[in-house]
């Protein structure tokens, strides 16, 4: 540039130059006239205000000529924006492609032309988050990690429960309350972690690895309900990979009904809430207890009662049977004796009757031989002096005195002659 030239041109002071530049920019863009700018976050820094370097998506840092937009969001606007992003589970981090709404400004003290952010395209970011989430799931699936932990066998009685949670939270209380109320002797091995925020994923990973080494029966990841942002740690790739690599079954109870984190997908078993997870674990133990303790005990009780009833009935039946058997036997003997007694009576009567008849016959026969009847007919009976009946001549001798009995008396006589009967 020549001296002549310099004398004809207006020379601006620095401040004046920046004023001119600002005026030109405002002339071109309008004063604080907002525009949408899309770019990939190259750097992000936050200290009350949020500062971000935005570059063209896909450009590389090795490209020394790539355009960089120094954007910033002042604290008054950043605070509510940050809360909104957090509630949706969105974090502005390097690599994220984002649409910023704002206006151009010039910051003379640092000689920077920048961009003041007034809005962030949350919907666009959500789409990006969802896309990256799907990409993560696809990646995990292609590596066989979705089902890896599901193949881990679990103890039939998972009483030693490793718990990854933040004590004092509702989710923690809901979960542990279920285990305590179950009445079973659960041992809870707690590893405290943050369950939201930037530090949470790494803490959760460390907790899972610690409990895996500890040899608990199962590991439970518990976190109550919250915004998507609150639950973002459970969509973290590091957490998902830690679960997949874990040799202990990992159970999750994260958020509310409808929330499904990547951790849920990778876990061995997923419950829809911490309360449900507690219920399901208690139900597992209860199921085992029922099959192996309560039902066998009931069978023993039933069998015992049945056996006792049978034995009681047997003894009672035998008692009745014996009473009837003995009574029957005695009655049988009584009947037999009675029959014999009757027969004996009949026989006796018959004997008496025939004896009486014989006696009568004898008596009749005897009557025929009654001496008085013979005497009345004229017959007489001669007896010797000693009373013997004279039946033959030989019974007397001549001169013997004999007595002659007749029907109305007797008289004495002397044997003077003996004459034999004519032959």
Q: Distance between CA atoms of 138 and 145, rounded to whole angstroms? A: 10
Q: Which of 57, 141, 180, 293 binds another protein (CB under 8 A)?
A: 293
Query: Among residues 66 and 329, whose Cβ is nearest to another protein?
Result: 329
- CA angle 344/346/350 to nearest 5° reads 115
Is 163:207 a contact under the CB 8 Å cutoff? no
Q: Which of 227, 56, 280, 241 is closest to 139 using CA atoms? A: 241
Q: Distance between CA atoms of 299 and 295, rounded to whole angstroms? A: 6
Query: Among residues 312 and 343, whose Cβ is nearest to another protein?
Result: 312
Is 42:54 a contact under the CB 8 Å cutoff? yes
Query: Among residues 293 and 359, whose Cβ is nearest to another protein?
Result: 293
Query: Among residues 287 and 348, whose Cβ is nearest to another protein?
Result: 287
- 91 token code pair: 């974090």
Residue 99 Cβ vs another protein, minimum distance, rounded to whole Å: 59
Query: Among residues 51 and 184, whose Cβ is nearest to another protein?
Result: 184
Instruction: Compute how many residues bind another protein; rule: CB under 8 A.
Output: 26
Contact flag: residue 256 with another protein (CB under 8 A)? no
Residue 326 Cβ vs another protein, minimum distance, rounded to whole Å: 5
Residue 332 Cβ vs another protein, minimum distance, rounded to whole Å: 8
Q: Which of 66, 83, 294, 349 binds another protein (CB under 8 A)?
A: 294
172, 187, 308 from 318: Cα distances, Å: 65, 56, 15
Phi, psi torsion values for 228, nearest 5 degrees: -60, -35
Residue 328 Cβ vs another protein, minimum distance, rounded to whole Å: 8
Contact flag: residue 360 with another protein (CB under 8 A)? no
Residue 342 Cβ vs another protein, minimum distance, rounded to whole Å: 19
- Return the SS3 of 261: coil
Is 150:252 a contact under the CB 8 Å cutoff? no
Q: Looking only at residues 298 through 337 of this chain, which bind another protein when binding is defined by CB under 8 A?
A: 298, 300-301, 304-305, 308, 311-312, 314-315, 318-319, 321-322, 325-326, 328-330, 332-333
Contact flag: residue 75 with another protein (CB under 8 A)? no
Residue 330 Cβ vs another protein, minimum distance, rounded to whole Å: 7
Total count of residues recorded for the chain:
423
Q: How far is CA 335 from the centre of its chain?
A: 66
- 394 token code pair: 């030989």
Q: Distance between CA atoms of 262 and 228, rounded to whole angstroms? A: 12
Q: Which of 53, 79, 76, 75 is closest to 66 using CA atoms? A: 53
Query: Among residues 143 and 306, whose Cβ is nearest to another protein?
Result: 306
Residue 304 Cβ vs another protein, minimum distance, rounded to whole Å: 6
- Return the SS3 of 84: helix
Where on the chain is the footprint of another protein (CB under 8 A)?
290, 293-295, 297-298, 300-301, 304-305, 308, 311-312, 314-315, 318-319, 321-322, 325-326, 328-330, 332-333
């Amino acid at each position: 540039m020549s001296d002549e030239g310099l004398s004809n041109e207006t020379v601006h002071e620095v401040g004046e130059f920046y004023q001119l530049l600002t005026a030109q920019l405002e002339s071109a863009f309008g004063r604080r006239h907002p525009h949408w700018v899309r770019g990939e976050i190259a750097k992000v820094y936050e200290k009350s205000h949020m500062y971000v370097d935005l570059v063209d998506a896909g450009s590389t840092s090795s490209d020394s000529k790539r355009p960089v937009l120094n954007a910033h969001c002042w604290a008054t606007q950043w605070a509510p924006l940050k809360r909104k992003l957090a509630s949706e589970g969105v974090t502005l981090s390097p690599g994220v492609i984002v649409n910023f709404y704002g206006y151009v400004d010039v910051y003379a003290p640092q000689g920077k032309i920048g961009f003041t952010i007034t809005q962030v395209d949350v919907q666009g970011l959500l789409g990006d988050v969802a896309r990256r989430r799907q990409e993560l799931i696809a990646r995990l699936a292609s590596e066989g990690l979705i089902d890896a932990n599901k193949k881990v066998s679990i103890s039939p009685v998972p009483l030693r429960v490793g718990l990854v949670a933040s004590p004092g939270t509702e989710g923690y209380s809901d979960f542990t309350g279920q285990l305590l109320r179950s009445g079973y002797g659960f041992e809870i091995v707690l590893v405290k972690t943050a369950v939201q925020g930037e530090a949470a994923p790494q803490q959760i990973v460390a907790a899972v690895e610690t409990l895996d080494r500890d040899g608990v029966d199962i590991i439970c990841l518990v976190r109550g309900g919250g915004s998507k942002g609150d639950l973002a740690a459970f969509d973290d790739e590091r957490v998902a990979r830690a679960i997949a690599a874990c040799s202990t079954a990992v159970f999750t109870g994260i958020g509310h009904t409808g929330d499904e984190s990547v951790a849920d997908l990778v876990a061995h078993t997923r419950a829809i809430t911490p309360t449900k997870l507690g219920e399901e674990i208690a139900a597992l133990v209860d199921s085992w207890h029922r099959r192996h303790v309560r039902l066998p005990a009931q069978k023993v009780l039933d069998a015992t009662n049945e056996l006792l009833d049978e034995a009681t009935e047997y003894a009672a039946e035998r008692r009745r049977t014996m009473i009837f058997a003995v009574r029957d036997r005695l009655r049988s003997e009584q009947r037999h004796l009675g029959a014999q007694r009757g027969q004996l009576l009949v026989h006796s009567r018959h004997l008496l009757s025939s004896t009486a008849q014989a006696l009568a016959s004898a008596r009749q026969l005897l009557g025929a031989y009654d001496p008085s009847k013979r005497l009345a007919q004229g017959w007489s009976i001669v007896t010797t002096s000693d009373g013997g009946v004279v039946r033959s001549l030989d019974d007397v001798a001549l001169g013997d005195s004999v007595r002659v009995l007749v029907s109305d008396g007797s008289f004495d006589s002397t044997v003077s002659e003996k004459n034999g009967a004519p032959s």
